[in-house]
Amino acid sequence: MSRFRGVLCLAGLAITGRFAPGLRAQYPAPPTAYSVTQINGMMGTPVTVQIYRDGSKAVVDNIHGASHTRTLFDLQAHTNYTWDAANPANGCSSGNFSGDWGDPFSTADVDALLQSATQPPGNETVNGFATKVMEAVDPKSKIKIKVWRETKSGLVVKADMTPPGGAASTIIETRQFSAAKPSAALFVLPEPCAKAGPPVHVPTSAERFASETGGNGADFVDATTGPGSPNSCAMLFRVVRAGSMQPVTNFQVALDLSEDLDHPAHYVFGASSAGHPATFSGGALKEYTSQLRNGVLRLENVPDHFDLELAFGAAGMSGGNMYRHCAGSQTVLLYVVKNPDKISDGGDWMWVQSGKFATVAAH
């Protein structure tokens, strides 16, 4: 997770709106060899974060008092190793990762912030860096974000957050940057990690989606990952079987379209039995089974997040919190279930962004 992206998620911001003309700066491709030292105050207590990159390898050090953990990322293999840098003989953990690994030049959140900025950026020098400074207020939380970006590379030099009626706090600050090639010794695994060998590959969501649908994993996006898209759409929801993608129609469906993530509702489900359907209650949960048409539920203007629950009779139940990801005026939401006769075997919730499953055939 990038340093700034984590801040935005933590604050619960929903950066929306149109950006003022000319505010979106264009920066060259970021360097692939550098070292950066930042102070991360996202969790309250400041932590020193040192980031080193040399091509396809990156190291992130987190230093807090006597604690010093180091993580080595292989950006090509998408593997990572973490160990105690002060006591490497204590062993290490390993795993797989996808997406952002903490790249300080990752600017998606800053670009989103620009969308709600209402005035041209100013010029300030911070920690020896010439920066462009911009401010924006999240329309939902009313939290003000102020960001200083280095003028040539777009590196976030500083970011402050100010809650309504509160004092500003610095959530990220860059203290040092060097474009020099870091020492090769930084990228050498300690003996316990080297002996353990590479981690067992865990499929990414895109790999799972491709395997389950027989399509391109890039055509789908995880429905359980937020935030929801700012644009609304009609949802076409259907259940299909992994592999064959044949429709599954013997289910009940209920939704809470007024879900409050800050004050979760207590949902109560009555399991189905012979001759008796399942029941749903709690919060604003409402059953929509009667609106199914050939196994497809169409709902107009679904909110940016909602709860969705399914009952498959004796086969079991499934559900959870969903975030909308609208690819157009209407977008298909799939629950791809591994075994319709045993729901506990698992499944994936995914929005279809493109490809052959992006439409539902008329009946």
SS3 per-residue string spanning 53-95: EECCEEEEEEEECCEEEEEEEECCCCEEEEEECCCHHHCEEEE
Mean pLDDT of 65-73: 94
pLDDT above 70 for 114: no
* Distance between CA atoms of residues 278 and 330, nearest Å: 29
What's residue 274's pLDDT? 65
Which tens digit of pLDDT belongs to each residue from 77-108?
A: 889 999 999 999 888 999 888 778 989 988 67
Please name each of the domains of the chain with its CATH number: 3-196 (2.50.20.10), 205-352 (no CATH)
Question: Is the model's pTM score more than 0.85?
Answer: no
- Residue 200 makes CB contacts below 8 A (sequence gap 6+) with none
pLDDT above 90 for 143: no
Which tens digit of pLDDT belongs to each residue from 157-202?
A: 999 989 999 999 999 999 999 999 999 999 999 999 998 888 887 7
Which tens digit of pLDDT belongs to each residue from 328-357?
A: 999 999 999 999 999 999 999 999 999 999
Q: Which of 12-26, 318-332, 347-361 has the lowest mean pLDDT?
A: 12-26
* Distance between CA atoms of residues 294 and 277, nearest Å: 19
* Distance between CA atoms of residues 261 and 267, nearest Å: 13
CA 281 vs CA 165, 264, 271, 284, 311: distances in Å: 38, 13, 12, 8, 13
Contact 259, 282 (CB under 8 A): no
* Distance between CA atoms of residues 232 and 254, nearest Å: 20
Residue 316 CA to its chain's centroid (Å): 29
pLDDT above 50 for 236: yes
pLDDT above 90 for 211: yes
